[in-house]
Amino acid sequence: MKAQQKTRSTFKTEDEERKFWATHSPLDFFDVSKVKRASFPNLKPSLKAISIRLPKDMLDEIKILANKRDVPYQSLAKIYLAWGIRAERTALKTS
């Protein structure tokens, strides 16, 4: 059985609104069945600098491959890491 959705109140002052929300839940004022997943395609993910030790020949190979693709080698390394993570998640889901 669905709970009846309440109508939103209007307030004359911020103090009146503050008192109201101190005793009411915002969840009572919207229909959960109409909720849509938000998408923010233009947001850039926050980045964290890390230090990683790689064998010299592996780093040289990444640099060569990056040069052939005309991209920075750090960007190519991030792409390879993303592919590996995606493959691992897929493998975990199927097992």
Query: 28-40: per-residue pLDDT in tens?
Result: 877 778 888 888 8
Would you list the domain boundaries of the chain?
A: 56-94
Q: Give CA angle at 36 (32, 37), nearest 5°.
A: 125
Output the pTM of the full model.
0.53
Query: 66-80: per-residue pLDDT in tens?
Result: 999 999 999 999 999
Q: Which amino acid is at 21?
A: W
Is residue 31 a contact partner of residue 2, using CB atoms and an 8 Å limit?
no
